Amino acid sequence: MLGQDPAIALLRECEARIAAFESGAGEPADTSRFDDVAYKLSALGFFVDRLQHGAADLDEFLHPERRKPAAAAPEPAGSVEHELERSKDETHALIEALRARPDDERLRAELKSNLETMRESASLVGDVGLESRAGQVLAELAAAPSAEAAARVSEAAQEIEGCSLRVAVTPTKHSKCIRCWQHRADVGSNADHPELCSRCVINVAGGGEHRRWG
């Protein structure tokens, strides 16, 4: 490794320490010392691999905690992507205002203009999903103004706001099988085994369920 004096020095250090381990001289037996040598050799391996693709800094592999995380470059102001993000923020604020004042025609007109701009920008960047969702919100917005219509607009806009996945958690009404611990509607369906689900009844009192592997 021409010109890589630190890496060569580290390799020689590891060689010397391994030789000392073998002879029992120098350093006392301590697994942490073995781990230190193994760590440095591993870092050397990654360093040499990186060198095959260009410049590399050995210290980055020896001390990865010192690496500075690469900051994501913000979209330049005025770009279509930047305008899309701005439109999403404005859409959220306008929809919240519309839910409070569903009869406000000025708000509805402003939201419509915002959504039309968003749909056009989404088309320009090839975001078919966002373009379609903006169209869906516009369709809901065309309904007669009412609290219910405003709620539908808000619901349709959830995916635009980045909440395409919504999860509702409710307690189950089904009993828990004492064998498999699953809450199932068929728990207690067999009078002879009132605390078991039908699947467990088959496995406990029947011939067993048929399973396919592979």
Least Cα distance to 85 among 128, 150, 130 occurs for 130
Q: How far apart are CA 181 and CA 178, in angstroms?
A: 5
Question: Residue 183 in 3-state DSSP?
Answer: strand
- Give the pLDDT confidence score for residue 2 in this predicted structure: 58
Q: What is the pTM of this model?
A: 0.37
Question: Residue 153 in 3-state DSSP?
Answer: helix
Helices 105-124, 128-141: crossing angle, 10 deg rounding: 160
Per-residue pLDDT of the chain (214 residues; tens, 9 = 90+): 556 788 888 888 888 888 887 777 655 556 677 778 888 888 788 888 777 777 888 787 777 656 555 555 555 555 777 777 777 777 777 777 777 777 778 878 888 888 888 888 888 877 777 788 888 888 877 776 666 766 676 666 665 655 333 445 577 888 999 998 888 899 999 999 999 999 899 989 888 877 665 4
Question: Are the beta carbons of 87 and 117 closer than 8 angstroms?
Answer: yes
For the chain, domain boundaries: 5-66, 80-156, 170-214
